[in-house]
Structure 1
Amino acid sequence: MQSKYVSKRYWKDKSTPMGKVDELAKQYDDVIDLSLGDPDLTTHDIIIENAFRDARAGHTKYTDFRGDPELRDEIIKYYNEEYQVKVEDKEIMVTASGCIAMYLVMEAILDDGDEVIMHAPFFTPYPQQVELARGIPVILDTFEDEDFQINVNRLEELITERTKALVINTPNNPSGTCFTRETMENIAAIAKKHDLLIIADDIYGSFSYQEPFIPMVTLDGMRERTITINSFSKDFTMTGWRVGNIIAPDNIISVIQQINENVVFTAPSISQRGAIYALRNRKTVQPPMIEEYRKRAFYAAERINSIPKLSVLPPKGTFYLFVNIKEMGMTSAEASELILNEAHVLGIPGNAFGYCGEGYLRIACTVNMDKLKEAFDRIEKMDIFCEKIIGLSS
């Protein structure tokens, strides 16, 4: 929108298909919404009841600038118990969401013109978060026939004298892939060779179905050059609470704290209390939730692979599936619109996640099994998918 009262940086429309799904979801009364990754499950009662008991007891004020000391202590315990990593208190910053965390990191580490490599398909806000901090996003494509793993030779070709950092996201949104140990170790070797920071977006760390999750910070020599971003949104079904954290070398955390004081000051105190109880009770809270989403993802993959012209890799992590729609003979946007208009099922075109996402559709398994079944029942009855079945039987 061009206006003298609007920054020229925003005169060119930067909206993406991700930003338009809210209106699309209202287009039909019976839409089954598989677009945004907002889980349908409600935050566990243990978290809610304890957090609001604490709110009534007076935890309604600003917290310490780096976060509630009790929450920081629970984060320390978590990393020690789960990964045998000793995190220092001064290396922790609690933030008002994982998205805010990523922005704060970029603002803290980038000088004008610094480059940040990110592998595509990627979480849609990444490029603009880099640009907000006056950096330059550099895109590394990954591909289905390589299991969406990072090809380290192509990665190294993108590194220049201005490269400051590499963003990795595993388990990955939107592809659902999980990087292998070999991939992680190759990335670490390149980071050390070229003296790069790794920004590890670990917000789906609990959703790794085939192999245990490997945090980059646990690899040899990576502690001092890894910035880890966590969120309670997906791992604990707390999207609306808006609370996350950053683990990084203390000199970076100190700068992030200074920036955050001018952005949101502190994360919501009640949300931080909820996060404390989430970590303390994770052995109760997480297993049934993770199993539910695992079942949904595998069911959805089976249904997708039974529909002509659609295919998807076996689920490895997250609750997203990146559906290959190339045999439909249309763009991602066209396929998404067709499925919405004919089946009243809403997904997100793959090109919302980078150019290499063209030819794909992301779906989020964030509705119950009955709704998932109905969604795929509707899709497989669409004319474009029935044509092939009729042709084969004739």
Structure 2
Amino acid sequence: MRMSRYMERRSFLKATGVTLAGAGLTAAGCGGGSGSSGGTVTIRYAWWGADDRAKKINETIALFEKKHPKIKVKTDFQQYADFWKKFNTQAAGGNPPDVFQNAVGFLRKYDAKRVLLDLSQQAGKGNLDLRNFRAGLEKFGEVDGKLLGVPVGSNSMGYVIDEKVYEKAGVAPEPGWTWDEWRDGLVAIHDKGGTAGDSGAYGVMYLYDLILRQQGKAFFTEKDLGFTESELAAYWDEALKGVKSGLYADQKKVEQVKPKSALAAGLAGGEFTWDNFTARYSAEGKSSYTIAPIPTLDGKRTGQYLGSLMLSGSARTKHPAEVAAFINFMVHDPEAGRIMGYDRGVLSTTEQYEAFQPTDPVSKKIAAYEQRIADAGLLEPITPHPAGADIVEAAFLRIAGDMALGKASAADSAKQFFTEAKTALGA
């Protein structure tokens, strides 16, 4: 969906004088239906990330509390793995944070456990505005007719490449290039540059999902896996051949340089990852990096969609109206958008997207990439993620990594994955 349609709609709203207040949004602190009785309310907000993200989020919270003096926000942030350990303990004890950062792989899992607040009810009451989201992102957190999360930013899978390595090899990725052309490029990089062409992302669930989507399939159905054990064994067998031939990076070396990426460490010429990670490579590496198009089977379909981190509310919160007001502020307020920038992806609403004008080259590349794939009509609906998808994703990454280190064959690895995945999805 093109950005211009949203800009036109926003211009129309401005011209007709429609604002958030005019649309019936209850300003923060009203406490409507939240049990606040007109007094000061405190909500708990938790997220994962690094110190830089925490600094930015704390700035936005200070701004929110200034504009909404009857709502106080108590914060908690952890690294990714620690966040979910703590959240699981809180959720099991019936005391999750009122509002928290979330991802699509967790929606059905926690909805089945009745942890997540259906935000569509707050939208219906006027506490949450679902207009002006880019490229249909307002529907990203919808599951089975319920709105379980609201996107704060967008990203899509891309192929981040070392521009100097590709230039030296004489390889110039163009939209519509095929997987055969991509493999030819890896050979050229290996032969001319003496380095691996790719870091080896065959353990990344989202990459395999794109490959399956190009075939009219998907990694998941609503309740199960969307591919067979033999298909995965064949995919991983090709990956092992790539490792042994040197087209993929030596996985022992990849492990040694962590947490730095193989691409930034100079072990490979490219890596399939989320487009907003380009900023990470530019910070870690010594070369220049850009986002190349996803290879295709037919020269057209990439299987891409926009992903996003989201904000979700707790079904147990005593302050649903305040939670909705907080989320609404975080995704619509222009000043909050300028503070956050592209930390969690390209800003999801037109208000924030237009307010933040990136000045650094990397952010400009990320925004241009997402605009390009949207304008080209490449974006499709996201694949459903059933309950247990987070466990499946972790197993896919771990088992593929062990396989690449020589601990198991492709066939045995695929068998192990299916055993673990069936258990996770059937739990």
Q: TM-score, normalised by structure 2?
A: 0.29
* Higher relative contact order structure (alpha carbons within 8 Å, sequence separation ≥ 6): 2
